[in-house]
Structure 1
Amino acid sequence: MSAHAAQPGTLVLASCSRRKTACTAAVPALERYVGGIAPHLRARFGHHADLRSRILFLSARHGLIDANTPLCSYDQRLTTERADELRPRVHRALLRRLDGIAVPTRLLVVAEPLYLGLLADLLAAEDRPTLRWVPDPRGWYTAASVLDEWNWP
């Protein structure tokens, strides 16, 4: 494997951020979110199209979205009720995403427990992917060490 090739089958899932750009036009999720680990992801991987496609966000409004999904400004907190509504939709979207990966999948999830709950159906599956969870949405240094292990540049 090349020194700069990220290991196949590795994905990042991060919770959305309460803090967002003030821009009123739709912008990609990776640019819209300015809190949590989004700024670090943007700085390190924003110019890598192949890696941007492996960065996903768990959004209180939209469910599972990728880094390039255009988003208008919104303000919605994830409540227990909203998480219950979103969980089946997130599960279906993530399964579609995982079906396209030919190797065993490893997920890095950087999200508070309520956001992790959106993945409950996936985590209950017998053939679930390997998961590394960072419960602090600002836990960049822990997340970065996992990404370094996975050979992300």
Structure 2
Amino acid sequence: MTLQPPTTRVLAPNHGLIILNCSRRKIVTAAPVVALDLYQGGCVPSAREHFAADPARRARIRILSGAHGLLRPETPISTYDHRLTTRAEAARLHKRTVAAQLDAELADAPSLQHVLILVEPLYLHALQRVFDHPALFGQITIIPDTRAWHDALPHLRDWGWA
């Protein structure tokens, strides 16, 4: 009996999107730093390391901030302290910024097929727009543990990103 290795396709960068939760642990700085460097907790350090030599895929990361909505990895941002604590607050964030940001993502990458989301359950309420358009995506994967980068790796391998 011959075992075939799993088929791995290579998903073009504009076909995938990774959304990570912000973290409470941040670099303390008076000067803005890029978002992917600011956050020091959750999956952000692992994603930063994993995509360090791959700028095209690194650019497909978004960080969901309770204060700012979706941040691109290179967006300059200063240290702040704000955490979503209620569903109503998450819904307001969605309405105030995230819905328009997700609409812009869909407009910028109309061939987007796969979304990998690693956010706390409460923060999912701020991402409602993703679930408003399920037919647009071939796959939406949710990992509700912000530290579970090891659970994301099999999906990234399937995409050809690991």
Provide the aligned C-alpha RMSD in A. 1.9
Moved over 4 A (4+): 3-8
Cα deviation, residue 127, structure 1: 3.2
- Give the Cα–Cα distance (whole angstroms) in 2 for the partners of residues 126 and 139 of structure 1: 24
Gaps of 5+ in 1: none
Q: Within the alignment, does 1:144 sit opposite 2:150 as a pair?
A: no
Partner in structure 2 of residue 109 of structure 1? 117
Give, as a single letter, the amino acid of the residue that structure 2 aligns with 1:103.
Answer: S
- Give the Cα–Cα distance (whole angstroms) in 1 for the partners of residues 26 and 57 of structure 2: 22
The alignment's TM-score, normalised by the length of structure 1, stands at: 0.89
Partner in structure 2 of residue 58 of structure 1? 64
Question: Pairwise mapping of residues 80-95 of structure 1 onto structure 2 (< 5 A)?
Answer: 80=86, 81-88=88-95, 89-95=97-103
Paired residues of 1:83 and 1:118 also in contact (CA < 8 A):
yes
Gaps of 5+ in 2: 1-8
Give, as a single letter, the amino acid of the residue that structure 1 aligns with 2:100.
Answer: R
Q: Which has the larger radius of gyration?
A: 2
Percent identity between matched residues is 35
Cα deviation, residue 4, structure 1: 7.2
Query: What per-residue deviation string (whole Å, max 9, x for no partner) do you get for residues 13-46 of structure 1?
Result: 0110011012321111110000000010011103
- Give the Cα–Cα distance (whole angstroms) in 2 for the partners of residues 5 and 101 of structure 1: 13
Cα deviation, residue 79, structure 1: 2.1
Paired residues of 1:111 and 1:137 also in contact (CA < 8 A):
yes
- Give the Cα–Cα distance (whole angstroms) in 1 for the partners of residues 134 and 159 of structure 2: 24
Cα deviation, residue 58, structure 1: 0.6
Cα deviation, residue 105, structure 1: 2.0
Residue-pair matches, total:
151
Give, as a single letter, the amino acid of the residue that structure 2 aligns with 1:96.
Answer: A
Paired residues of 2:13 and 2:57 also in contact (CA < 8 A):
no
- Give the Cα–Cα distance (whole angstroms) in 2 for the partners of residues 116 and 60 of structure 1: 11
Paired residues of 1:110 and 1:135 also in contact (CA < 8 A):
yes
